[in-house]
Amino acid sequence: MKDAHIIRYARALELPICMLYGDTRRGAFPSDVKAAVQYGKNLQSLAVALNTVGAVSTKRTHEILSGVFNIPIATGTISSMVKRCADSLSETVGKIKDKMIGSALGHFDETGTRVDKKLWWVHDASNCEYTYLDISPKRGNAGMEQCGVLPE
């Protein structure tokens, strides 16, 4: 197993350069460092993949990342990563939904899943090119209508 590569940046607030003229220099972080603690794209991608594709709970994702990489990432941070990823894909998801609504051929199905210990339904609309997934507390046609993907 490969050890996680953690990069730490530190900055001297003021470091005298020339005592004769009193010039000082101020250190600078790389331009992509915006917070006191932040996680790289690879770790963010892994957290999102575990939590969504892998269907691993946020708490368990936290435990895995803490245990494997010794990075105590908060569950709220993981949730924020998933939300940012979802937000960045909203335009693409909308296009897929539109393609399914306009498709002459479609397959529609559903499967149950737990959301806050309650049974919800993942609704699937697909054809040979696209798959659109949405979630609703409603089952059957009512759930598909709520997801807004049934052809008119």
Share above pLDDT 70 across residues of the chain, in percent, rounded to a whole number: 79
Is 96 found in the same domain as 81?
no
pLDDT of residue 47: 94
In this predicted structure, the answer to whether residue 12 has a pLDDT above a threshold of 60 is no
pTM score: 0.67
The Cα–Cα gap between 121 and 52 comes to 16
pLDDT of residue 34: 73
Q: Please report, for the domain that includes residue 128, its CATH number.
A: 3.30.160
- Using alpha carbons only, what angle is made at residue 83 by residues 98 and 58, rounded to the nearest 5 degrees? 125
pLDDT of residue 22: 63
pLDDT of residue 116: 85
Q: Which domain holds residue 45?
A: 15-88
- Tokens representing residue 50 in the block: 């575990």
Is 56 found in the same domain as 109?
no
